[in-house]
Amino acid sequence: MAEIIAIANQKGGVAKTTTSLNLAYSLMKLGKKVLMIDFDGQANLTTCFGIEEPNSIETNIAHLMIAKMNEEDIPDKSQYIVSNNGIDLIPSSIYLSVVDANLRLEMGSERILFEILEPLKADYDFIIIDTSPSLGSLTINALSAADSVIITVNPQLLAMMGLQDFLKTTKKIQKRINSKLEIKGILLTMCDSRTNLSKVLSEQMSEAYDGVVNIFETHIPMTVKVGEAIYYSKSIAEYSPTSKAGIAYADFAKEILTYEER
């Protein structure tokens, strides 16, 4: 039975999509069966997966959400799950932005994604949701469906400032909608060990949240290899597994599995 993990933060540019993609591939390399959900209307994860025109996909996560809202039957999974190099994906498109607007008017809308994913859990070890950079209806849906959340944080001042608000929202969802939701931890991404600011902010993060929220030992370094991998629609595990980022994401996947064994 799969664990559903949301990769989330209300801020953009903190490597949510990069982490979703690379954690999925790294877990697959460790023998796990993984499904990714692109739950962002920008469809960046879908593009990274090698789908050049996300808006041309006949059935994506937006269509499934609309079907659920209209109480229509969901099509067979073969019609909306795509596969590439051992990883499965439910893709997204700009149409998800329309869904986001409609969700605000829908009764009980917080659990719609949960209803879509629940029948799929038996087929996977992990389901990873790449969320949108907001605290809107889509992110609330993702957190309501998830067993746990990994918060990606870029150690820059503006990227860290909204963390407290995100934690408050998560705790509200735990209390009101999804009592099983666990904050698995904070993952520091895009870390540049050459700059004093990055070091100082990383230290401040550890001091502020140590004992309150788990901070993963693995830090993801800033490297051009990640951008190059995305350009070629590959994970860093495929493109450059021996690069610093490739090694870091492999270590992070192992840390996740170790966390599960506690």
- DSSP for residue 262: -
**Confidence (pLDDT) at 249:** 96
Q: Are 26 and 249 in contact (CB under 8 A)?
A: yes
Whole-structure pTM value = 0.93
The whole-number mean pLDDT for each consecutive block of 10 residues of the chain, a chain of 262 residues, reads 94 91 96 97 92 88 94 93 94 91 82 95 97 91 97 74 84 94 93 71 74 88 88 88 93 90 64
Q: Which residues contact 108 (CB under 8 A, 6 or more apart)?
A: none
**pLDDT the model gives residue 198:** 66
Query: CA-to-CA distance for 138 and 50, rounded, in angstroms?
Result: 23
Q: Of 9, 3, 31, 5, give the one whose Cα is nearest residue 20.
A: 5
Q: 199-223: b or e for each residue (b if 16 or more CB lie within 10 Å)?
A: eebbeebeeebeeebbbbebbbbbb
Whether residue 237 contacts residue 26, with contact meaning beta carbons closer than 8 Å, is answered with yes
Instruction: Give me the pLDDT at residue 135, please.
Output: 83
**For 117, what's the count of Cα atoms within 13 Å in the CB-facing half-sphere?**
32
Q: Which residues are registered as beta bridge partners of 36?
A: 89, 128
* Domain at 3-260, CATH homologous superfamily: P-loop containing nucleotide triphosphate hydrolases (3.40.50.300)
Output the pLDDT for position 197: 66
Do residues 130 and 16 make contact, with C-beta atoms less than 8 angstroms apart? Answer: yes
Q: Where are the domains of the chain?
A: 3-260
Distance CA 96, CA 162 (A): 24
